[in-house]
Structure 1
Amino acid sequence: MNRDWMPIKTTPWTMGLILLTLILLIQTTALPERIDRWLFDTASTHYPAPVADDVVIVAIDDISLERLGRWPWPRTYHANLIEKLDAAGARTIVFDVLFPEPAPEDRRFARAMAEHGNVIVPLHLSPPTANYLLSEQLPNATLVSAAARLGHAHVELDADGVARGLYLLNGLGSTLWPSLALAAHTSTQTGATDYQAPSFVNVRDRYRTVPLAGGAGTVPTHSYSQVLQQPPAPATFAGKTVFVGATAAGLGDVLPTPFSGLSRPMSGVEFQANTYSALSQDLLIRPAPPWVTPMVILATVILLSLVLPRMRPTRTPIVCLLTLVAVLGLFLVGLFAGQVWVPVASALLAPMLAFPLSSGFRLAMTNRFLNRQLDDLARSPHVAVPEPARRHPNQLLEHFRELFQPDGWLLCEDQVVLARQGLEPDDIPTHLAAGRWHHLNNHSWIRLVRGQSDFILGLKLPNDLSREAIQRYLRRLHLEPGEARHRADKPRENISARIERVRVATDRLNRMQQFIRHSFERMPDGIIVTDELGVIRFANGHIEEWFQEPMPSLSGLPLTRLLEGHDPRETPPWHETVSETLTLQQSRTVDLRIHNKDFLIHFAPFALPDSDQHGIIANISDISELREQQRQHREAIDFISHDVRSPLVSQLALIEQLKRDPSHIDQAQLEQLGRLARRSYHLAEEFVQLARAEQLTETRFYECEFLAIVENARDSVSEQAAEKGIGLHLQGTEDLWLRGNAELLERAVINLLTNAVQYSPAGTAIDIQVFRAGHQACLTIGDEGSGIDADELPHLFDRYRRQKRSELTGVRGTGLGLSFVKIVVEKHRGEISVASTPGKGSTFTLKLPIADPLA
């Protein structure tokens, strides 16, 4: 079973279910609430609410305590403050100071409150002692009767201990008291009384988050003692709501806020003043309905589940980031434009979780895909051949015998002869190094170590030109196993193992591609591969060479344009052949001629497996040699039908004439019959010799001396030369050894000398020189004949080619002699040339390689 198999597939359903499950698990922790509070604190501190123009604080601060004495002060101070504020035009006075106990000055205080008419005093909900139930701690009855309204002074602290809001209505049972800020903003004495609850139950309603204007001291604040001791200031208090409360250290409430935390807390009266400021500007933030947050979470999860599985990996971070920005935008718009706090922490966590989740799915899919592909690659064919160093010496000897055909061999194992021919153990050199060839003339030796055995292998190579090439080849062979390759430690990480397997597979594919490309390049035929539109996508080097088109220009060139540019034709046109190959999916074979060379082009359609892509593979074969052979074959038939048949027919006619009158046999008729017979024999002999020359290979070569060959040839034509009074002058004394076929070389020299005698006038001389020039043995034959015309020199060695000058003068030839000479010289890796001047004679020069050029 595949270790990387996973039952879960990457679909919108699986993505959505897993993502929703993770979010629900996170909802059971405090993380979403912390994130929501952090978002609110960040937004509110960066964009604080403005301070209302009609709110001001009179603070019971440290200066006031120092000037007016220790707390509690006589309530006449508060009465005087109300009178001062009333005189200054204050619209509403809100005391954030509890007055639960009666005091002697209450009547004075109550009278001042009544005279102003809009003074609000606080109440407090708390148990009297630890063993009592929660109860309402109201001011004393005198003050309650004089106050315009009562308001609770409670501020809510969140789970992290930070004050962010309060309940506008709070009370016991069915009686709800407004907060001080709400009491200052409205003239209603109590809140709604629709709640039916026991009188000891604390009921709170209409929670609102307060967007603070800033930290402590943001709301305009005046010291209690300064207001009390100075004349009324209408410019400061006229038409405003004045909050009176304690800000001195250790006296009033201490509330951590988003602006301060515990470093610089805010007093309760400042928080109430901020609440009133936001309430008067309709900036208090209400919580979103309970269904909003689940809907936002669900919408985010659905969006991510539908989009991410279909999205490209590079775009996944962008989509998650945009989703994150959209959720944050929803939060900020609701907070500042709609005054609604939407908890979006879980919705923000959705894209943060979706990105690694989607990446994990893709990584798992990639891992499974890589495993399948790697398994397929492991089963695919690859280029690998057994190393010669792993083969037994017996196998090596067998292969060497088949490959090189040595004259002898010897194989010993620990001084025991296993195989021998033409070599003896005494021939083994001393101090042979293991794994390295030792060459001594035509003997080659190597010592091989296989396990605990020591082998010695020797070869006796042919002592010819191939010996050095074979010995160079043997030096390149690695027949001794090297050090064992240490296998790399298996990577511990799964992904590292996959990467290593991919690298190995990629290297194998690259080697296979290189092998295929090199194979195409080394093929004897030209290869062109096109796409489905007939446009060239690949061509090997033969195409570049034969068409003489640079390789960059071939790629992307339509095949039809290439063929029409080099071999234009009308019937059938190239575009028709190419298009029919593609449309009919049928192979075509057409003749092609490029730069005076004959080719055969085969069009074969192909289709890639598991794909709609198809195209053409065009195989171009050079058939110039085949066409030349066909031409020679036709010329040979013409030669046989004309030159050979003609003397035979004449002989038959003459024989029939003699048979009719055998009593009158003329000597001239017999001589004519002899000439015709000799001519037929001469033609047949040249034809046979030409065939022998064409079939000559180096296996029929042997050591021969060139000067002796020339002397034998001279002696063979001396009688013919003497009949015409032509002298044959040979110059040369140096022995020049060749590796070749002496019989055919002698016949070639005889042909040259016979031509020289035949085409030279009587009484002239033929100069024959044999000499050495560098690494070549040279022969020159110069005559004083009629010479060769310049226009016939290029075709002098063609088969069945006769000179017009010689035919007109009555000297007839077969046209095979010089062709035979050229083939023999080429088979011996030599060269032949001619220099001629009409009317003065010709000189033939023949050059052949010497067998041992260093001798």
Structure 2
Amino acid sequence: MLGFRKKIFLTDLVLLIVFISALFPLIGLTVNHIMRISLANRGKVLIATLKDAPNQDAMLEMMRSHSEFVFQPASLFDGNGNVIYRSFATEQNQFYESENEVREAIETGHGFDEHISPFFHQKYYYSALKFSAHNQSYILDVNFRGSEIDQIKLYFKMGILIVCILLLLVKSSLDIVIIRYFMLPVQQIVNAIRPYREGKEELLPRIVLTKAMQGGEFSKLASTINSLTERIQKQIENLTRQREETEEILESIGEGIIATDTSANVTFINRKAAEMLDESPNDILKKTLADLKSSDLSKKCHELILYALQTSESSIQTLTLREKGPLYLDLISAPLAHQNGALVVLQDKTSDYKIVELGKDFIANASHELRTPITIIRGFAETLQDLPELSQEMLHQITEKIVRTCMRLDTLVRSLLTLSDIENLSHDRFKPTDLILLAENCRHHVLTANPSVKIQIQSDLDSAPIIADADLLELAIINLLENGVKYSTGPAQIEIQIEKSDQGFRLIIKDQGIGISKKDLPHVFDRFYTVDKARSRKSGGAGLGLSIVKTIIEKHKGKVLVASEVGKGSAFSLITPSNRNSSST
């Protein structure tokens, strides 16, 4: 492809050729016109000389000998075109048909023609003028050799051609200088953006022209490009930020999200979806889900994506995976806008299903726990009804069992109501309190009901300020202390330790009771779960105490831990945020 400078030079050359092609014929016409005027003027000078002759013979003598006619071939004709004298002819009276200029002069007074001379056999230019002398009409025909005129034309053309060539060279040189001057800022702009065009830079660099180039139109062009670059850069930054924010949002969502193009190739996948598929996100991108290692989840997701791409319709399916424990997923697929691909959302519904199962278990356990005391009471009541003549001792035993069963039933109902209250706990009830003082109150409460129990509080802290619902936190601590009393053989020995922790404060309740087996440890906080059912039933427990403790601590943004060994006792740790941490949460 030709460069800009070559194009300018070729344009000038073509224009020169066109100009010369049009000029050369004009040069010929111009020279002919000049020569015609020159011959006419020459003829007028000769006629003025001839008019001084007194008669025709004197005129002829003058044409033979006068210096004006020595170097100027001429012919004299009468008014009818008959030859009177030829300065170059041997036959003076011969008339040639080719002398058109003479005929034209007879008719108009002036004639001009060019033709081959019959005497010299070469081209001549002729100019004939009509004049009057001695009361007679004459025609003077002067001529000029054509080769000389042609040579003059050639000189003209050569001169014009040389001048035009010189002008072309001068113009081309000026064009080169001017173009070079104007191309310098353009070249600077091109050099500035070349790294971006070649992919070496991710962003368009700022264009800075030299001082000599500043202030002109190219400076305005550079400023405009810089302004556009800044706007594009801001737009790219905004789009990048929006993309990052969108990806962060999609990553923070607790659902798996997979997006594909129209060919079902994955264009986006968040960490949650990658974890569900047991793949690395980078290993999934630009692949179809069918390319992954075979699994029920990847197959089902691929089927839903193909369905969305082919039908442009949404669909919802439920999938249960049992590879790593029961996992319940809702798979939702939908086509993207403008038919740009498809989207599948993986919703983990395991917790919902667990809640449903827990609800079912809770209802079943609550029904069982309520039905048992009611059955006992009913049985004793029917006994009293059927045997009215029971002894006083037997009657006392039956009524004592009925009262004990009613107390157990009351405990169960109160525990259920407590759980319900905790679930709907208002934050208005949370107030500043001291955990050490709270533990001291709980100690006195348990010792009042169990004087033989030994409970010691150990702490190096002067105070442990927290934000809490004091009544509920007391209930949690008392439940743990009563459990320590309940599951200890002989007088219970319980130790309460309060210490600082990273999250806030840690309250540890240690007993020397029967302990909890390893198989029971994961379930001790489940509702209605009892380690020793006989001992629990005997003491009136319903299996809700530890569940209440866990719920209370979780409502306080804390957590409860347990460590135990059969025959050596148990240690329950309550971790609660400090006053400052509680306010921040």
- Report the TM range for the smaller structure's normalisation: 0.5 to 0.7
Deviation of residue 752 (structure 1)? 0.7
CA distance, structure 2, for counterparts of residue 621 and residue 756 of structure 1? 42
Structure 2, unmatched stretches of 5+, are: 1-12, 24-70, 76-86, 90-97, 128-145, 165-219
Confirm or deny that 1:253 pairs with 2:152: yes
Instruction: Give the TM-score taking structure 2 as reference length.
Output: 0.58
Aligned match of 1:711 in 431, 440, 445? 440
CA distance, structure 2, for counterparts of residue 774 and residue 505 of structure 1? 48
**Secondary structure of 1:832's partner?**
strand
**Secondary structure of 1:802's partner?**
coil
**Aligned residue number for residue 796 of structure 1:** 524
CA distance, structure 1, for counterparts of residue 100 and residue 151 of structure 2? 16
Deviation of residue 756 (structure 1)? 1.0
Confirm or deny that 1:599 pairs with 2:329: yes
Is the 8 Å Cα contact of residues 697 and 827 (structure 1) preserved in structure 2? no
Q: Deviations over 1:130-156 (max 9, x none)?
A: 963113565474xx5xxxxx45379xx
CA distance, structure 2, for counterparts of residue 603 and residue 263 of structure 1? 83
For the pair shown, which has the larger CA radius of gyration, 1 or 2? 2
Aligned match of 2:342 in 587, 591, 616? 616
1:520 to 1:566, Cα distance in 2 relative to 1, 3 A: farther
Alignment of 1:32-43 (within 5 A): 35-37=17-19
| Superposed CA RMSD | 5.0
Deviation of residue 751 (structure 1)? 1.3
Write the letter of the residue equivalent to 1:710: A
Confirm or deny that 1:678 pairs with 2:407: yes
Aligned match of 2:455 in 716, 722, 728? 728
Write the letter of the residue equivalent to 2:112: L
CA distance, structure 2, for counterparts of residue 538 and residue 568 of structure 1? 15
Is the 8 Å Cα contact of residues 785 and 841 (structure 1) preserved in structure 2? yes
Aligned match of 1:777 in 505, 508, 513? 505
Fraction of identical pairs, as percent? 25
1:152 to 1:705, Cα distance in 2 relative to 1, 3 A: same
Alignment of 1:646-725 (within 5 A): 646-664=372-390, 665-718=394-447, 721-722=450-451, 725=452
Aligned match of 2:266 in 536, 543, 546? 536
Write the letter of the residue equivalent to 2:522: P
**Aligned residue number for residue 479 of structure 2:** 751
1:698 to 1:140, Cα distance in 2 relative to 1, 3 A: same
Write the letter of the residue equivalent to 1:625: S
Alignment of 1:477-496 (within 5 A): none
**Aligned residue number for residue 152 of structure 1:** 123
CA distance, structure 1, for counterparts of residue 426 and residue 290 of structure 2? 43
CA distance, structure 2, for counterparts of residue 131 and residue 750 of structure 1? 150
Aligned match of 1:625 in 351, 357, 361? 351
Q: How many residues align?
A: 416
CA distance, structure 2, for counterparts of residue 738 and residue 798 of structure 1? 27
Is the 8 Å Cα contact of residues 828 and 848 (structure 1) preserved in structure 2? yes
**Aligned residue number for residue 219 of structure 1:** none
Q: Deviations over 1:678-700 (max 9, x none)?
A: 22222222222222223334332
Aligned match of 1:135 in 110, 113, 129? 113
1:257 to 1:747, Cα distance in 2 relative to 1, 3 A: farther
Deviation of residue 602 (structure 1)? 1.5
**Aligned residue number for residue 55 of structure 1:** none
Q: Deviations over 1:13-62 (max 9, x none)?
A: xxxxxxxxxxxxxxxxxx99865355899xxxxxxxxxxxxxxxxxxxxx
Is the 8 Å Cα contact of residues 789 and 837 (structure 1) preserved in structure 2? yes
Write the letter of the residue equivalent to 2:154: L
CA distance, structure 1, for counterparts of residue 163 and residue 413 of structure 2? 129
Alignment of 1:465-544 (within 5 A): 518=245, 521-522=248-249, 524=253, 525-540=255-270, 542-544=272-274
1:690 to 1:561, Cα distance in 2 relative to 1, 3 A: farther
CA distance, structure 2, for counterparts of residue 592 and residue 645 of structure 1? 37
Deviation of residue 517 (structure 1)? 6.9
CA distance, structure 2, for counterparts of residue 850 and residue 606 of structure 1? 48
Confirm or deny that 1:851 pairs with 2:579: yes
**Secondary structure of 1:784's partner?**
coil
**Secondary structure of 2:482's partner?**
helix
Structure 1, unmatched stretches of 5+, are: 1-30, 42-97, 108-122, 145-149, 155-170, 173-243, 266-492
Alignment of 1:133-532 (within 5 A): 133-136=111-114, 139=117, 141=119, 144=120, 150-152=121-123, 253=152, 255-256=154-155, 261=160, 518=245, 521-522=248-249, 524=253, 525-532=255-262
CA distance, structure 2, for counterparts of residue 564 and residue 816 of structure 1? 45
Write the letter of the residue equivalent to 2:421: R
CA distance, structure 1, for counterparts of residue 501 and residue 259 of structure 2? 50
1:761 to 1:641, Cα distance in 2 relative to 1, 3 A: same
Is the 8 Å Cα contact of residues 258 and 270 (structure 2) preserved in structure 1? yes
Write the letter of the residue equivalent to 1:590: Q
Write the letter of the residue equivalent to 1:825: I
Q: Deviations over 1:510-549 (max 9, x none)?
A: 8589658735743644443333443333445654565565
**Secondary structure of 2:546's partner?**
helix
Confirm or deny that 1:589 pairs with 2:560: no
CA distance, structure 1, for counterparts of residue 445 and residue 163 of structure 2? 133
Q: Deviations over 1:463-483 (max 9, x none)?
A: xxxxxxxxxxxxxxxxxxxxx
1:676 to 1:245, Cα distance in 2 relative to 1, 3 A: same
Is the 8 Å Cα contact of residues 759 and 811 (structure 1) preserved in structure 2? no
Deviation of residue 744 (structure 1)? 0.9
CA distance, structure 2, for counterparts of residue 774 and residue 510 of structure 1? 40
CA distance, structure 2, for counterparts of residue 808 and residue 552 of structure 1? 57
1:531 to 1:754, Cα distance in 2 relative to 1, 3 A: same
**Secondary structure of 1:261's partner?**
helix
Q: Deviations over 1:291-345 (max 9, x none)?
A: xxxxxxxxxxxxxxxxxxxxxxxxxxxxxxxxxxxxxxxxxxxxxxxxxxxxxxx
Report the structure, 1 or 2, having the larger helix content.
Answer: 2
Deviation of residue 753 (structure 1)? 0.8
**Higher mean displacement: 549-558 or 749-758:** 549-558
Aligned match of 1:567 in 297, 302, 310? 297
Deviation of residue 669 (structure 1)? 1.5
Is the 8 Å Cα contact of residues 511 and 571 (structure 2) preserved in structure 1? yes
Is the 8 Å Cα contact of residues 434 and 465 (structure 2) preserved in structure 1? yes
Write the letter of the residue equivalent to 1:255: L
**Secondary structure of 1:534's partner?**
coil
**Secondary structure of 1:253's partner?**
helix
Confirm or deny that 1:742 pairs with 2:470: yes
Q: Deviations over 1:575-628 (max 9, x none)?
A: 5444444444443212246876543222234552xxxx3643323334343223
**Secondary structure of 1:567's partner?**
helix
Is the 8 Å Cα contact of residues 481 and 509 (structure 2) preserved in structure 1? yes
Is the 8 Å Cα contact of residues 530 and 536 (structure 2) preserved in structure 1? no
Write the letter of the residue equivalent to 2:444: D
**Secondary structure of 2:405's partner?**
helix
Is the 8 Å Cα contact of residues 314 and 332 (structure 2) preserved in structure 1? yes
1:704 to 1:136, Cα distance in 2 relative to 1, 3 A: closer
CA distance, structure 1, for counterparts of residue 15 and residue 417 of structure 2? 110
Write the letter of the residue equivalent to 1:673: I
Deviation of residue 657 (structure 1)? 1.2
1:568 to 1:255, Cα distance in 2 relative to 1, 3 A: closer
1:136 to 1:641, Cα distance in 2 relative to 1, 3 A: closer
Is the 8 Å Cα contact of residues 277 and 298 (structure 2) preserved in structure 1? no
Is the 8 Å Cα contact of residues 721 and 728 (structure 1) preserved in structure 2? no
